[in-house]
Amino acid sequence: MAWTNSKDSALRERAQAVIPNGMYGHQSVMLMPDDYPQFFSRAEGAHLWDVDGNRYVDFMCGYGPNLFGYANPTIDQAYFDRAKLGDTMTGPGEEMVLLAEAMTKQVTHADWAMFCKNGTDATTMALMIARNHTRKSTILVAKGAYHGAAPWCTPLKNGTTPSDRANQIFYDYNDVDSLEAAVRAAGTDLAAIFASPIKHDTFIDQELPNPAYARRARELCDEHGALLIVDDVRAGFRLARDCSWALVGVQPDLSSWGKAIANGHPISALLGSNVARAAAGGIYVTGSYWFSAAPMAASLVTLKMIAETDYLERTIALGERLRAGLNESATRNGFALRQTGPAQMPLIMFDDDDSHAKGYLWNSAMMKRGVYFHPWHNMFICAAMTEADIDEALNAADDAFKVVRQSGPLGPVEKLSFLSRAMEGA
């Protein structure tokens, strides 16, 4: 079936009238190559169908929640069974205790758990607990890191005040000197150091954590009585069956979780060690849907699958197959790719492509061939993918390289021109 997007276009036009900009936030395709679909009808396993019926092998996995495949029958059965009995009630079900037990069993540093809905809820709670614990204000955050969309951390300052964003000092991820300088600048007011488990910022190469940096962050927090917070919302359980910094031998005081912990059902979590328990009990946080039982039931099954299946090894092997195949195909077609980050969370960009023009054309050609890639955000491999899915992506990639090779000289991507303007202004 030839690729068409008439239904998507019509919906987008109607959306313009009733939704600001037609769409907002990270799932807006405003900054994606032209024609990327905005609206979807169905998702199953590793596959996604847009409203026009085009099928994609989906390498975005819902921006992270899809770990065991969309509509995973075992996880969804637990969700539906619990929903039938009662979901959002006047109080939580027993699942809340079972899930707190399961999470603290799974994650080494954690002695307690609190549940919420979005990653931003969990990172904001971490911030409040650190300030309550230390009675200090200043937090250190890596430049360019994403921790959510609340006024203190949303990447666009519009609608926030300087006081919303006060008491933050920025450091360079993986750079011990820069981290130490930021700690000095905090003086006697250090409440917390925030770190993402890997550097997974948009538009730039990903970086694995330098163990010396992670260890120094731990030491500096200990020296100053501050809390170390690992924001595992995006990478949690994709790198390890524990907090991701277990891989570099560093245990935080708090870790924030979301996305994959219930395979797409709405729940997030903040985990903490006993050091932070009293402070966690001393803040007021809540939400109408935070105690809903069905997502907790789904999360319990997801955690069991995390503990008992080889999903992690599978996603790594599939990611490595994709990485090797893309390198081979790129070289054969005369291109050099930069494939950064863990194989199961790949970010793929072209060398010599500061304007992203090659990347945009290549991604667009992949999309039209049924493979949903992202040109500037890390992607995800899910455990429902098969080698056949990876090979389908590799075939599409090979054709897409030819499209880029055969195109004439490429102009800059107009919709990204704000980026170069922002850089000039920086």
In the complex, the residues that contact ligand PMP under the rule CB under 6 A are 63, 118-120, 123, 146-148, 196, 231, 233-234, 258
CB of residue 122 vs ligand PMP: minimum separation in angstroms?
7
Nearer to ligand PMP, 37 or 148 (CB): 148
Position of minimal CB gap to ligand PMP: 119
Burial class (CB in 10 A: 0-12, 13-18, 19+), 167: middle
Q: Which residue has the tokens 């080494």?
A: 108
Nearer to ligand PMP, 196 or 315 (CB): 196
Alpha-carbon distance of 230 to 126, in angstroms, equals 9
CB of residue 147 vs ligand PMP: minimum separation in angstroms?
A: 5
Please report how close the Cβ of residue 51 comes to ligand PMP at its closest, in angstroms: 23
Q: Which is nearer to ligand PMP, 14 or 26 (CB)?
A: 26
Amino acid letter for position 342? P
Cα–Cα distance measured from residue 8 to residue 21, given in angstroms and rounded to the nearest whole number: 15
- Identify which of residues 124 and 329 has a Cβ nearer to ligand PMP in the complex: 124
Shortest Å, Cβ 382 to ligand PMP: 16
Q: Nearest approach, Cβ of 143 to ligand PMP (angstroms)? A: 14
Computed from CA positions of residues 26, 30, 31, 32, in that sequence, does the dihedral angle turn out positive or negative? positive
Provide the minimum distance between the beta carbon of 18 and ligand PMP in the complex, in angstroms, as a whole number: 23
Q: Which is nearer to ligand PMP, 198 or 400 (CB)?
A: 198
**Three-state secondary structure of 104-147:** HHHCCCCCEEEEECCHHHHHHHHHHHHHHHHCCCEEEEECCCCC
At 80, the amino acid letter reads F
- Nearest approach, Cβ of residue 348 and ligand PMP (Å): 18
Report in angstroms how near the CB of residue 129 gets to ligand PMP at its nearest: 16
Question: Looking at beta carbons, which pairs linking 218-222 to residues 24 or more positions away fall under 8 Å?
Answer: 218/250, 218/251, 218/252, 220/179, 220/180, 220/183, 220/190, 220/193, 221/190, 221/192, 221/193, 221/253
Give CA–CA dist 376/390, Å, rounded: 20
Nearer to ligand PMP, 103 or 361 (CB): 103
**Stated length of the chain:** 426
Q: Which is nearer to ligand PMP, 234 or 356 (CB)?
A: 234
- Whichever of 38 and 256 has its CB closer to ligand PMP, that residue is 256
Q: No. of H helices and E strands in the chain? A: 12, 13
CA distance 266 to 291: 11
